[in-house]
Amino acid sequence: MKRLLIIAATAILTATPFVTNAGPDDDLKAFRGYFLERFPNVPLEEFANGVYSIDAASREQWEAIEEFPPYEIAIEEGEELFNTPFKNGKTFASCFKNGGIGIKGDYPFFDKASGRVRTIEADINSCLKKNGEKTLGWGKGKLAAISAYMAFTTRGQIIDIKVPRDQRAIDAYEAGKVFYYARRGQLNMSCAHCHVDNAGNKIRADILSPSLGHASHFPVYRSKWGGLGTLHRRFAGCIKQVRALPFKNQSDEYRNLEYFLTYMSNGIPWNGPGARK
User: 242 exposed, middle or buried (CB, 10 Å; 0-12, 13-18, 19+)?
Assistant: middle
Q: CA 16 from chain center: how many Å?
A: 22
Catalytic residues: 238
The full 3-state SS of 153-204, as one line of letters, equals CCCCCECCCCCCCCHHHHHHHHHHHHHHHCCECCCCECHHHHHHHCCCCEEC
Q: How many CB atoms lie within 10 A of CB 218?
A: 28
- Amino acid of residue 3: R
Q: What is the rounded radius of gyration, in angstroms, for the C-alpha atoms of the chain?
A: 18
Alpha carbon separation from 194 to 46, 153, 177, 190, 199 (Å, rounded): 19, 31, 15, 7, 6
- Kindly write down the DSSP assignment for every residue of 55-77, as one continuous string: -HHHHHHHHHHHTS-TTHHHHHH
Cα–Cα nearest to 269, from 106, 102, 45, 53: 45
Tell me the sheet residues that pair with 202.
Answer: 207
Task: Mark 119-131 as b/e (b = at least 16 C-beta within 10 Å).
Answer: bbbbbbbebbeeb
Pairing of strands 109-111, 116-118: antiparallel
> How does strand 220-222 pair with strand 227-229?
antiparallel
